[in-house]
Amino acid sequence: MTDQRQTPDHLLRRLLGPAGPELGCEECFELLDVYVEAELAGADAHGRIPGMRAHLEGCPACAEEHDSLRELLSAAESTPLPA
């Protein structure tokens, strides 16, 4: 565990998870591409796909994949993907 994650506040948040409705991992994957494109376009991704933001708060693996897809698209916008 990293120092950041060890803080009691953070641990408490991770134990309790996000309050309110959230998607599951399968639904998250199903909608991830639409969500990330909406984010990058500056659209209301959260309004369009309710429950996604909460799931990304509660699920580190999905959050990592979200971040990666976002980074990949951002990188591909500026330069072609490396061969």
Partner 1 sequence: MSNPVGSVKRGPHDPTRAHPGSRQAEAEAWLQSLRSGGREREDAAARLDGLLVKAARFELLRRRAQWNRSGESLDDLAVQSADSALSALLSKLDHYRFESRFTTWAYKFAILEAAQLARRRAWQERELPIGPEEWDRLAESTPELAAGVAVRDQLRRVMRAIQTQLSAHQREVLTELVLAEVPIDVLAERLNTTRGALYKTLHDARRKLRDVVGSEADD
Select from 4, 11, 46, 50 the one that contacts partner 1 (CB under 8 A). 11
| Range 19-38, binding Zn ion (CB under 5 A) | 25, 28
HSE-up of 48 (CA within 13 Å, CB side)?
14
User: What is the rounded CA–CA span in Å between residue 58 and residue 64?
Assistant: 11
Instruction: Determine whether 23 is exposed, middle or buried from the number of CB atoms within 10 Å of its CB (0-12, 13-18, 19+).
Output: buried
3-state helix, strand, coil in the chain (%, to 5): 70, 0, 30
* In the complex, least distance from residue 76 CB atom to partner 1, rounded to whole angstroms: 4
* In the complex, least distance from residue 83 CB atom to partner 1, rounded to whole angstroms: 7
Residues found near partner 1 in the complex (CB under 8 A):
1, 5-9, 11-12, 14-17, 19, 22, 24-26, 29-30, 32-34, 36-38, 40-41, 58-61, 64-65, 68-69, 71-73, 75-78, 80-83
